[in-house]
Amino acid sequence: MDFETIRTETRGPVALVTLNRPEALNALNSRVLEELIRAFAEFEADPEQRCLVLTGAGDKAFAAGADIKEMAAMAAADFYAADFFSRWTSHIVKATRKPWIAAVNGFALGGGCELAMMADITIAADTARFGQPEIRLGVGPGMGGSQRLTRAIGKAKAMEMCLTGRMMDASEAERAGLVARVVPRAQLLEEALKLAEEIAAQPPLAAIAVKEMVNAAFETTLEQGLIFERRVFQVLAGTADKAEGMAAFIAKRPGQWTGR
C-alpha cells in the first residue's frame, strides 16, 4: 500500500510523518488511520529511528478532526460494530515505546486535538488553535478528548471547551499546560526536528524507560508510580549505557551509547 494521505521520510534517527490532505484540512479518515498505523509500526520496528515528529501539511491545519463527511453516513451500529476510534489507542498510542512529538501547525480540532494529545510532547506554532468542537455536531469527543484534555488542562477549562467548542490559541494552550512550547510558525518544523534529534541522541533504553515512567503517572496511584519509577531506575542501572553515561560524566566527555 502506497501512502496517499500521509508523507513519511527519515532524517537520520528521526522519522518525519506529515498528514497530507490539506484540501480537507488534514481531516482524519479511515485511510489516514491505516497509513498512520503502518508508519508508526515501521518507526517502531527500525532500531535506527529513535524519535518521530508528526505534523500537518499546509499552513491551515494540523488536523481539523475526524472526517465528518465519512462519519455523516455512518449509523450507530457501524460505529459500535467497528469499535470506531479504538485503534487510535491500540495502534497509535500503544504502537511505539519510543518517544514522538506532535508539531501543531494550525487547527487541531476534535480528533486533531486528540491526536496532538496522544503525542509524548506537543509543540505548537504561534498560529495553532486547539478545540473539541464535537458538541456542535451533536456528539462529543471520541478519540480521548474528554479524558486527555481534562488531565492536561484540568476540569474547568476542559469542561468549558468541550461544552462550547471554543478554540484556544497557542499562547493559552501553553499557559494551560496543553503544549510544551510555542514557536513562530516559520520555525516549527526546524524546532520540532531539533527537539527530536536531542531526544534521539539520548541513551535509547533510558528514553523508552522515561516515557514509561511519565506515562505511569496517568495510570497509577502516587505510591505505585513511585515504586514503578524506582524499579525501572534500578533496571537501567544494570545497562551498559548507565556505566558509559556515568563514566563519561566523570571523564568530562560525551557518552557513546550502545543501547545495551
Report yes or no: 83 and 45 within 8 Å, Cβ to Cβ.
Answer: no
| HSE toward the beta carbon, residue 71, CA cutoff 13 A | 18
Question: Of 73-81, 103-111, 189-197, 221-229, which segment contacts ligand CAA by CB under 6 A?
Answer: 103-111
Q: Which of 43, 62, 107, 257 binds ligand CAA (CB under 6 A)?
A: 107
One-letter-per-residue 3-state SS of 10-75: EECCEEEEEECCHHHCCCECHHHHHHHHHHHHHHHHCCCCCEEEEEECCCCEEECCECHHHHHCCC
User: What is the closest distance, in whole angstroms, from the C-beta atom of residue 167 to ligand CAA in the complex?
Assistant: 8
User: Would you call 229 a catalytic residue per the annotation?
Assistant: no
Give the other-Cβ count within 10 Å of 82's Cβ.
Answer: 12
Question: Of 20-28, 184-192, 215-223, 232-240, which segment contacts ligand CAA by CB under 6 A?
Answer: 20-28
Report yes or no: 41 and 97 within 8 Å, Cβ to Cβ.
Answer: no
Q: Which of 14, 57, 108, 109 binds ligand CAA (CB under 6 A)?
A: 109
Q: Binding of ligand CAA at residue 229 (CB under 6 A)?
A: no
The sheet that has 6-11: what strands, in order across it? 6-11, 14-19, 51-56, 100-104, 121-125, 181-183
Catalytic residue (one of 56, 65, 106, 111): 111
Measured distance CA(114)–CA(148) in Å, rounded: 8
Q: Which of 35, 134, 174, 191 binds ligand CAA (CB under 6 A)?
A: 134
Measured distance CA(116)–CA(99) in Å, rounded: 13
**CA nearest 18: which of 64, 63, 49?**
63
Considering the complex, state which of residue 131 and residue 245 has its C-beta at the smaller distance from ligand CAA: 131
Tell me which residues in 39-98 interact with ligand CAA (CB under 6 A): 64-69, 85
Q: Which of 13, 56, 99, 141 binds ligand CAA (CB under 6 A)?
A: 141
User: Would you call 134 a catalytic residue per the annotation?
Assistant: yes
User: Would you call 111 a catalytic residue per the annotation?
Assistant: yes
Considering the complex, state which of residue 110 and residue 255 has its C-beta at the smaller distance from ligand CAA: 110
Q: Which of 13, 56, 99, 142 binds ligand CAA (CB under 6 A)?
A: 142
Considering the complex, state which of residue 65 and residue 204 has its C-beta at the smaller distance from ligand CAA: 65
Q: How many residues bind ligand CAA (CB under 6 A)?
A: 22
Which residues make Cβ contacts (< 8 Å) with residue 134, sequence separation at least 6? 65, 110, 140, 141, 142, 145, 162, 165
Interface residues toward ligand CAA, by CB under 6 A:
24-25, 27, 64-69, 85, 107, 109-111, 114, 133-134, 137, 141-143, 145
Residues designated as active site: 66, 111, 114, 134
